[in-house]
Structure formats: structure tokens, C-alpha cells
Structure 1
Amino acid sequence: YGMILGISAFFALFMICITWSLKRYSHELQTAEMFTTAGRSLKSGLVASSVVSTWTWAATLLQSTGVAYRYATVSGPFWYAAGATVQIILFATLAVELKRRAPNAHTFLELVKARYGPATHGVFIVFCCFTNILVTVMLLTGGAAVTENLTGVPTVATVFLFPLGIVVFTLFGGIKATFITDYWNALVIIIIIVFIFAFVVYTTNTILGSPRRVWEILTEIAAERPLKGNAGGSYLTMKSHGGAEFFVINIVGNFATVFLDNGYWNKTISASPVDALPGYIMGALSWFAIPWLTATTMGLAGLCLERYDVWPTWPERMSDADVTAGLVLPNTAVVVLGRGGAVATLLLAFMAIMSTYSSELISVSSIATYDIYKMYFWSNAPGKALMRMNYIVMSIFALFMAGFATTDIAHQATMLYYIGVSMGYLYLLMGVMLSSCVIPATLTLVWADQSWAAATFSPPLGFICSVTSWLVTTQVTYGELTVETTGLNTPMLVGNVVALLSPLIFIPILTYVPPFKPQRYDWQSMLDIRVTTDDDPIVAADVDTEKFVGESAPPAPTPGQGLQEKAKLDKMAKLARWLCICLALCLLIVWPMPLFGSGYIFSVKFFTGWVVVGIIWLFVSCTMVVFLPLLESRKTIVRTSRAILKDLMGIGQARAGVVEGEVAPGSGMMTPVEGLEKVGGKDVR
């Protein structure tokens, strides 16, 4: 209880202090626009840090380690990492397209409404909100399982106490608080993985202590119980039948939780136009090392250590239920580091949950505020009303998720846990439920011909097909429908693939077959989306107006600047397509497939190099997501630090002289070609 409440309270107070400092020393105004978009001016380093932190769920650490343990092979960690990195890389292309098509949007769903109208908008709202709910449920179930395993704190208490501090600091700081928290989360996660888990397992542990010793034990285990479906029965090969099945499920399922999670679109919107692409690319490549090295270290260490009496379940192996619940990582951490391992795992899980949970709060509140409340109930709502709606929706969503997760208080179990549905089950299921909306959502931004009917009906039709194929495959293959049989690889594989690919059949039919016809969209209605105007923002933010006397607002973007920004985005869009495709092919084909096809069994030198590359990669990740944000923000940090020092010395409050949240050159808050329909007689759109 002390750990949960202490960390939660610490970060709540920390973020409140940060928000207060920004208001006092940088004169930052917490308007509705600032709350949701952070001024649309964040740099690539902080975007990368936020992507790493948000994509590092509890499931990332727990599930990836469980995959390495379950499939008993080095392939599991790689398949998990590669299969969940590609989506972020490909999403970078859509990030640039959003900046080009609708630079003033608040949510991705605003673009859907602008292009297709209310009916399609409603369909996408359902899929996006269900994505937020499913991701949040996975966060709570994973965190609750780890906490109960390590401390004995009841699950019911965990799901209510975990989010308290997160809700508080998000309410105070908005999406900027989420970005700042993301930075600290990424720092802690990388330090724990690099300097504690990896170095202890591969250098100082008395049982393991080196990659060579891990390789020797895995070789001995393969001789004792060869693994069916692996090349030569080895645990040191990329050729694994079970791992390959998981790879496909992982790729398909993760498309939905990136492309349909409004939190990632929020990060795109908050980034400055030229920083969205590098931010997402750096974030994706930095994130890859986290599950890869975590699972290669802790998953394989668990396999080795279960042969010794220090293992919690010795002489038995861990049950499938415990592996699915994500308990391989905490068990291994306790064996390797004792009580310190338990504390490190709790901290790791909490940090992973905190960032993503905060992002989900912003995601849901922005949908409710801009896509429902402002869109259909009060189109001219002032900033105060929008802020109030943000606060209300965040509070209701947090209570709803805790209540949804909690049902059987007498048995101290969550509803999902009570019926046998764990984090691992939800992780495999999410693609079946959500992926049918991925392709229609993507084509909304990149294909002008997709019709209203295709965008509206292909997601629900795909959903019906995926659920039907998932359940029919389970019944035909295993003869019964239970939580256990529906969660097996074969039915999950079929359901996930059908969900993602079935729209490829429906979309052409609903676009080209009469009476349907292509839309021939001109993108103008997206370009017409405007920022929210706050009435008297200085007074609304309760800022002393006397401090701004004599200060001038930043100059508005000139026509030339708008054209330059548009040209940069057009060039960046072309670069993004080729870069993202090349990186995706490298991770999915060029690197793993020769090892998979040849059935190569790792030698001790190759395995050592494999581990060393993972550690080096994580150090590079640390540079991109820890040091780069500091470098990019060095002027603001120095200016604010000097202001605080002067305040403490009684010299007086120093002013930054700039009101954040107002339009600044290159901020992305103004349509690049607004008012410039034609220049020199030529259409510049």
C-alpha cells in the first residue's frame, strides 16, 4: 500500500508543481487548446520519449517475458519487439499526413467527421473508445496481477488505488503533464532494465552471471526436454512454430491499439509539424530494445533458474495461468535481486501503467469533449466549458474503469480475473475485436476515393467476420467454447488475420460496385478545421494581467512561412513512406527471416553478440529519449531555473516574456495555406 500510494502521491505532487512552475515562471496559460494539444510545438526528443513510455505497457514487460518463457526460445522476445515496433514506424507516415491534411485538428475523429459525416463518425467513435477501454483494462489487470503476486495487496484495492495520482496530475497538467511524465517514466524504465536486470543477470548473478552460462543451461535443458516445433528442439533458435504464430497475432493486434488509439493521434497533434516524423521514428526504434532485451534477459533467466530450488514454484514449472497473467518477470526479479527485485518490478510496472493510463485519460476526454460535446451539443462552446467537460469525463472514465474491473469484492477479484480472463488473453483478443477498423482509418488519410459506405460499413462487417471465424475455429478445432480454448493460438490467429484483412474485400465492393462510387475527396473540409478560441484566456487562467503589460504576442505566421511549412511537410511525406517501408522490411524480413528459414541454432558467441547488441541498442535508446529532450529544451530549463533561483533569493520573479499556448511561427496552430488559396495565379493546395 505504501509503494502504490507513495509513488502515486509523489508523481501527483511533482506534476502539480511542474504545472504551477510553468504558470508562474513561463506565464503558460492552461486553456482548453493547451490542455489537449500542448501548443502543437513539442520537439522530436520529447515526442520520442512519450512514444516509448506510452507504448511500454505493463503488458510490454510482462507479456514479452512470458512469451520468452512460454515458447522457450530466443525468438519470442524478437517476435514480440519486431511485431509491435512496425506499427509505430508505419504510424509515422500517418502522423505526417495528419499534419498536412488537418494541422488544426484536436482528434483524429474530427477528420472522419469532416470527410464522411456523422454516421461514419459514430462508428469510429465506438471503435476508438473500445480501444481505450481495452488498453486500460489490460493496464489494470497486468498491474493488479504483479502487485498481488509480490505484495499480497488485494486486486480490488489495486485497481482503485493505482490510478488515483495519475488522474490528479493529468487533471492539473493536461497532455503536457503526460509528456513530462512520459520522459521520467522512460528514464526509470531504461535505467532499471540496463543497469539492474541486464547487468545483474549477465554479469554478477551467482547462478547465471554471463551469457555463456545462460547459453550452457539452455543447451542442457534442450537435451533433457527438446522443444517440439523448434529447429533441433533447441531453445536457441529463431525457428519456432509457436513463436511464429504469436508473431502474426502480435503484428495484427497491435495495429489496432496504435492506429485506433486517439492517444497516439494526440501526440502527433501536439508535436510541431517538422518533429512528428523524427519523433515517431526515434520512438519506435528506441522502444524496440525494451521488450527485446527485457524478455531475452528475464524470460530466458526464468527458464534457467526454474531448475534450482530458489525458484518459487520449484520443482514444478510455472502454470500456464501464471505465465499468461505475466508473473514470469516478477518471479525472476525476486530470485535474481531478492527484495530489491520485488521493489524494482513494482516500480517498473507502475511507471509503465502511469504513462499509458494518463494518455488514455486524455484520449477519452478529448473524444468526449471535441467529438461529442462540441460537435453535437455546443458547437460554439467557450474554453471554460471545454475544460470543464475534460475534467468531468476524465473523472467518470477513471471511476468507470475501476468499477468495470471490480465486481466480486467478497472474493477480492476483478471481474475479468474471476471468469479467467487475464492480461495475456486480452492482449491476444484485442486484434479480433478492433483490427477491422485499421485499414478504413488509414485510407481516410491516404486515399481520396474511399467512399462513405466503405468507411462506415467495412469496420462492423469485418468485426462480425472476425468474431465468427474466431469462435467457429475454436469449436471446430477443440470441440468446445471456453476461456481456455478460445485463448489458444490457432483460433486467435484466424480471428486476428480475418479482422485486419476482411476490409480489403468490403472496401472495393462498397467503393466501386454500383450503386456505390468513389468519393474523389479534395481534403478541403479537413483543412477547414480550426483551433478552439478561448474567451479572455488570461482571466480564465487566473493570471495577473499586469505582468503582461508591455509584452507583445508573437507575430502571426506570414504567408511565406505557411508555404514553407507546407513544402516541408510535402517533402517529409514522401520521405516518410520510403523510410517507414524500408525500416519495416528490415525488422520483419531482412533480419529475422534468414535465421528463421535456415533453422540456425545460436552458438555461444552468436548468443553473446545477440545480448551485447541488445544492451548497446538500449544505450542508444537512452540517448534519444533521455538526453535529446534535455538538449532540445536546454534554453527553457536554464531560463526557468534562473527564474526559480531569483525567486528563492528574493530578487523577484523573472519573466519568460512569452505566453505559451498562443500562435507562434511554425507551431502548427495555423493552417499552412490559410488565406492563400492562390499565389501567383496558382492553386497552392
Structure 2
Amino acid sequence: MCFGIFTNILVTAMLLTGGSAVVTDLTGMHTVAACFLLPLGVVVYTLFGGIRATFLTDYIHTVIILVIILIFAFTAYGTSDELGSPGKVWEILIQLSQEHPVAGNAEGSYLTMRSKEGAIFFCINLAGNFGTVFLDNGYWNKAIAASPASALPGYVLGGIAWFAIPWLCATTMGLACLALESSPTFPTYPNRMADADVSAGLVLPNAAVALLGKGGAMCSLILIFMAVTSASSAELIAVSSIGTYDVYKTYINPRATGKQLIVVSHSCVVLYGLVMAGFSVGLYYAGVSMGYLYLLMGVIISSAVLPATLTLMWSKQNLLAAAASPVLGLACSLIAWLVTTSKQNDGVINVETSGANNPMLAGNVVALLSPVVFVPILTYLGGPQNYDWESMKAIKQVRDDYSTAASPSGDLDEDSKHAGSTSPAEPTDSAAALMRASKIARGLTVFMTIALLVLWPMPMYGTGYVFSKKFFTGWVVVGIIWILLSLIVVGLYPLWEGRGALLHTAKGVWYDISGQRGRLGRNPSGDEFVLDGADVGLSGDDVVADKKD
């Protein structure tokens, strides 16, 4: 629970510090005001919508984000007067490599994977994001809320679709920012961007303003708002579920009713929103940026990755190893981080020195790998637990009074019973089906890890290859094609998959606004009809009707 909450705090802090810095840069709003106003709307719709709201807003926000990224890409590589093609961007970057060569890069180029600082960031990023994905309760909530039939393809398709976002964003806005720094349209002209501005996350908005003027500023503002609010909502739900079910229902009131759980859940959402707004203000005045937090997160949380993974993957890990390894790993990572900072800076430890790449690298790597030592030692000291997984099968889904309607007899309504269910011919939650899905997931994980982390970047790093004009053009084209496919997967496929439910809902809305007091129902054969309540007397055996008012 502690490391899960640490993860949520760090992710939310990154969202608010980075988001508020961009809002301040684009609008002039005071950063403190932005820190409080950004989470305000998120708290409101999360409070009333719960996890359903996060699903809906994630969909809408992600579609908008993808569209804006495509606007940036087509402008930079197609319509911009100053850039206008991948070839033109390549030419400017080659010239910049001669004027401002990058220390540690092959030939000092911006167009190479051989980068000393890039390799360090690769390791830090890998360690830190193992933590955010494995320990962020928001991911677990959504995986558990999804039907077994949807979870595997949903996460695989989502992961593949997501990859294009940081890839094309970096290729487009990062390189466009470099290419446009000498342009009079660039916000910091005639000066180059300061390191503090880069760390604060202002590369994208500056490049957008240089590309599209006020339109670019508006697009950046919308994009940042969409990203921050969507992700913040998931973090609110994650912390709320920990506080409600893992703390309150488990240790304080095991017999809590649905209404009591809702009250606690809402209280957690409001409290966490206020605390994080205040915490972000404190980080702002302390000079801690989004970039610093991004590098730091692995140091704080990644020692819990291996114990959490082995909790599900290794039956012999015992309670002592699962509980103590993350704490011991955190102690080791903090020592490695701060001692490296001190040694490299003559004993000076502050935000600037501790945020350098080498100290962060030491802390992140020690955090991720130290449990490799602690887990086996503690497991065999305390004795293997030999867990048989049976108690996990006995876990029942909690039904609350808010998220599900009930009939007068106390049973769940038919919509709730059958939501996400499949036909009896396909029992997707059977042990055999779940085991098959597990094998597929493991195989895909190994394949994609090798493909995306080894086969693709490593040869390019090892050879020190500097992109030619044709290669860079192909790189950009593949990125744009990939994100177009992502838009289809994220934007269109869910609409097609949910076409039946959308049509059913649309009919119900139409019957409501057209003055028909009845409700849309289904008979046992699945045909829809309008039920006029008191005007039609049918028993429960005759019809399955929606009992929600």
C-alpha cells in the first residue's frame, strides 16, 4: 500500500508541476493558481463518476491528444513555411550539429542513437517506469474492472497504440524545437532554451508556438489539459480505492456497507486532491521540476517492482521477503543516490546536484536490482511459503450501493449482472481460458521487450549510425503511420466494439426526450421494446426490464 501510494503521489506531482508550468508559460496564470485549478475539475467528475468517468474521459482525452499530435506532425513535416518536410528538418539539424555539437553523441549529432546521456536516461527511464506501471494501482483497477475477454487484447492494443505518442512527439516537437530556436517566431529568440525550461517541460509548447503561433499555444494548452486531467483522474481513483478497500474496509470497518464505502471513497478523492495541490505548490517554491521528479521516481518506488511481480509469479516468496525487500531496497537506493551526489560534488547535496544523471542512475539501478539479492535470502531464511493461489480465487467483487442498481428484492439489476458478460459458450473467466491468456501475454511481453528494447535500438547505438536524409524521412513516415493506426485502434475500434450498447443508449435517450415515459427493455430473446410502466402489466418471468430509475 505504501509503495502504491508513493507511486500515485509522484505521478500526480509530475502531472501538476509539469502541467502548471506549461499553463503558466502559455497563459501567464500564476503557477500556484494552476496547481489548484488543474485538479479541481478532475476531483469533481471523479467524485461523481468513479472509475466509469476515468474510462470515458480517457477515451475522449486520448482521441483529442492523438489528433493534436497529428496536427503538429503534419504542420512540421508538411505545411510549415520554415520547416515543411522531413528533409528540411534533417538539413537544419545537420547544421546545428556543427554549430552546437552534443557532447557524448556520435559525431556530436542530434540524429543518432549513440548518446552517452541518452543511454543513461534509457536506464533511468526503464527503472522508473517499471515502478510506475507495476505499482500504480490505477492500472490494476482498470485491469480488474475489465472483463477477462477484454483485458488481454485491450492492454496489448493499448500498449502498441501508446508507443507512437512519445515516439512521434519526441521526433516532431523535440527536433522541431531545436530546428526553430534560431527563428524569430521562437518564444525565447534570440536565446536558446534554458536547461530549467527544458526540465520544466516547455519544449513542446515553445515548439508549438513557433510552428503555429497562437493556434499552437491553444493546441498545447488543450493537449496538456487533456493529458493531465485524464491521468490525474486515474490517480485519484487509485488512491481512493487503496484508502477505501485496503485500509478502511480491511482494517477499520470490515462490515462496511456500500453507502459507507462511497462516503469514504469520496472523502479520499477530495482529501487527496487538496493534499496534492498543496504539495505541488511546495515543490514549485522548492524549485523541484517535473524533470527532477521523473528521474527520482525510480529511486523511491522501483525496489517494490520485483517483490510485487513475484507475489503473482513465484509461489515460494514468503511474507517476510514481500514486505521487507522493498523497504531494504529503498534504503539502499537512497544511499546510492545521495552518496553518489556527494562524491561527485564535493559534499554538496541540493536540488541541482542531486538531479544530475549519474546520481539518479545509481539510485534507480540499485532500487530495481537490490531485491534480486534480498528476496531469495529472506525467502529461504523464513522458509518458502508455497502459496497455492486458492485464496485469490475466493476473492469476491465488492458491489456498492452507488455503482449498481438493485431490485426491490435486493438483487442486482439485469444490466449490472450481464455487463461485460459473454455467451455461455465462451466462459472467458474459466481457469483454462485465463491460463491460455496468461501464456499469450507472457509470450507477447518477451517478444515486444526484445523487439523494442534490444533489436531496434541496440544495433543503432552500437554502430553509432547517424541518420541519413532518406532514413530520417522513413523514420518520420513510419511514426505518422503508426500514430494513425493508434487513432484507429483508440478512437474508432471502441465505437465499433460497443456499437450495440451505444445504439441501445441512444434509443433510450430518444424515447426520453420524445416524451415517452417508458423505458427501453429487452425480452428473453434479446429484442428491444418500450415498456410503459404502469400501462403494461408483465411479470418478471415475462420480461427482463431495466429497474433503474
> What is the TM-score when the length of structure 2 is the normalising length?
0.90
3-state SS in 2 of match to 1:315? coil
Q: Distance in 2 between matches of 1:415 and 1:646?
A: 52
Correspondence for 2:221: 346
Which of 240, 245, 248 is the equivalent residue of 2:120?
A: 245
1:486-635 correspondence runs (5 A): 486-513=354-381, 516-534=382-400, 565-635=430-500
Identity %: 55
Equivalenced residue count is 520
User: 1:468: which partner in 2?
Assistant: 335
In 2, the alpha carbon distance for the partners of 1:172 and 1:656 equals 26
2:6 and 2:179 mapped to 1: Cα distance?
39
What is the rounded CA distance, in whole Å, between the counterparts of 2:319 and 2:416 in structure 1?
A: 46
Aligned to 2:515: 650
2:287 touches 2:351 (CA, 8 Å); kept in 1?
yes
Deviations 1:209-243 (A, max 9, x none): 11000000011111223222111222211111111
CA apart distance, 1:365: 0.8
2:60 is the counterpart of 1:184:
yes
The verdict on how the C-alpha distance between 1:506 and 1:206 changes in structure 2, with shifts beyond 3 A counting, is same
CA distance 1:646–1:595, change in 2 (3 Å): same
- Alignment pair present for 1:203 and 2:57: no
Would you say the 8 A contact 2:321–2:378 is kept in 1? yes
Q: Is 1:420 the counterpart of 2:298 in the alignment?
A: no
Secondary structure in 2 aligned to 1:655?
strand
Shift of 1:392: 1.1
Distance 1:171 1:360 in 2: 12
Q: Distance in 1 between matches of 2:340 and 2:314?
A: 34
What is residue 39 of structure 2 aligned with on the other side? 163
Q: After superposition, give the CA deviation of every residue in 1:260-298 in whole Å (9 maximum; x if it has no partner).
A: 110000011011112211111111111110011011101
Report the Cα distance in structure 1 between the residues aligned to 2:282 and 2:39, rounded to whole angstroms: 18
| Structure 1: tracts of 5 or more residues without a match | 1-124, 406-413, 659-685
Match of 1:450 in 2: 317
Aligned counterpart for 1:485 among listed residues 353, 356, 376: 353
Which amino acid in the other structure matches residue 50 of structure 2? G
Superposed CA deviations along residues 337-366 of structure 1, whole A, max 9, x for unmatched, are 111111111100000011111111111111
Label 1:615 to 1:455 Cα distance change in 2 as closer, same or farther (>3 A). same
For the Cα contact (< 8 Å) 2:428–2:434, is it kept in 1? Answer: no
Write the distance in 2 (CA, Å) between the matches of 1:357 and 1:549. 31
| CA 264–297 in structure 1, closer or farther in 2 if over 3 Å, else same | same
SS in 2 for 1:206: coil
Is the Cα contact below 8 Å between 2:422 and 2:428 reproduced in 1? no
State the alpha-carbon separation in 1 of the partners of residues 427 and 486 from structure 2: 33
**Inter-partner Cα distance in structure 1 for 2:322 and 2:429:** 33
Question: Secondary structure at the residue paired with 1:606?
Answer: helix
Instruction: Letter of the 1:614 partner, please give it.
Output: G
Q: Does 1:436 align with 2:311?
A: no
Mapping of 1:209-358 within 5 angstroms? 209-358=84-233
- Where do 1:382-401 residues align within 5 Å? 382-401=257-276
Structure 1 contact 274–568 (Cα < 8 Å) conserved: no
Looking at structure 2, the residues matched to 335 and 544 of structure 1 have their Cα atoms a distance apart, in angstroms, of 62
Q: Is 1:150 matched with 2:15?
A: no
What do residues 587-639 of structure 1 show as CA deviations (whole Å, max 9, x unaligned)?
A: 00111111111111111111000000000000111111111110111011111
Q: Look up the equivalent residue of 1:506 and give its one-letter code.
A: F
Q: Give the superposition deviation at 1:324.
A: 0.3
State whether residues 256 and 431 of structure 1, in contact with CA within 8 Å, keep that contact through their aligned partners in structure 2.
yes
Distance 1:290 1:557 in 2: 33
> What does the per-residue CA deviation read over 1:498-538, in whole Å, with 9 as the maximum and x for residues that have no partner?
0000000001111124xx21111111222221222557x89
Equivalent-residue separation in structure 1 for 2:221 and 2:303 (angstroms): 35
Residues 339 and 552 (structure 1), Cα distance of their counterparts in 2 relative to 1, 3 Å cut: closer
Deviations 1:630-672 (A, max 9, x none): 01110111111122122222233432459xxxxxxxxxxxxxx
8 Å CA contact 1:551, 1:657 repeated in 2: no
More displaced 10-residue stretch of structure 1: 473-482 or 524-533:
524-533
Deviation string, structure 1 residues 65-101 (Cα, Å, up to 9, x no partner): xxxxxxxxxxxxxxxxxxxxxxxxxxxxxxxxxxxxx
Paired residues of 2:261 and 2:400 also in contact (CA < 8 A): no
Partners of 1:551 and 1:234 lie apart in 2 by: 59
Contact 1:644 1:653 in 2 (8 A): no
C-alpha root-mean-square deviation of aligned residues, in Å?
2.4
SS at the partner of 2:520? Answer: coil
Change (3 A) 1:549 1:381: closer
Contact map agreement 1:200 1:336 (CA 8 A) in 2: yes
Distance 1:534 1:210, change over 3 A: closer
Q: Retained in 1: the 8 A contact 2:167–2:479?
A: yes
Q: How far apart are 1:404 and its partner, in Å?
A: 2.0
Name the CA shift for 1:543/1:395 in 2 (closer, same or farther; >3 Å): farther
Give the structure, 1 or 2, with the largest relative contact order (CA under 8 Å, sep 6 or more): 1
Q: Return the alpha-carbon distance in structure 1 between the equivalents of residues 116 and 467 of structure 2.
A: 17
In 2, distance between residues paired with 1:474 and 1:265?
35
Q: What is the CA–CA distance in structure 2 between the aligned matches of 1:508 and 1:253, rounded to whole Å?
A: 23
4+ residue runs of structure 1 moved beyond 4 angstroms? 540-545, 548-564
Cα distance change, pair 379–287 in 1 and its aligned pair in 2 (3 A): same
C-alpha spacing 1:533/1:553, structure 2 compared with 1 (3 Å):
closer
The change in CA–CA distance for 1:455 and 1:542 in structure 2 (over 3 A counts) is closer
Residues 544/563 of structure 1: CA separation in 2 closer, same or farther (3 Å cut): closer
Name structure 2 gaps, 5 residues minimum. 524-549
Confirm or deny: 8 A CA contact 1:274 1:569 kept in the other structure. Answer: no
Contact 2:316-2:386 at 8 Å conserved across structures:
yes
State the Cα distance separating 1:159 from its structure 2 match.
1.3
Asked if 2 retains the 8 angstrom alpha-carbon contact of 1:249 and 1:497, the reply is yes
Separation of aligned partners in 1, 2:442 and 2:474: 32
Give the counterpart of 1:137 among 4, 8, 13. 13
1:639–1:656 contact (8 Å) kept in structure 2: no
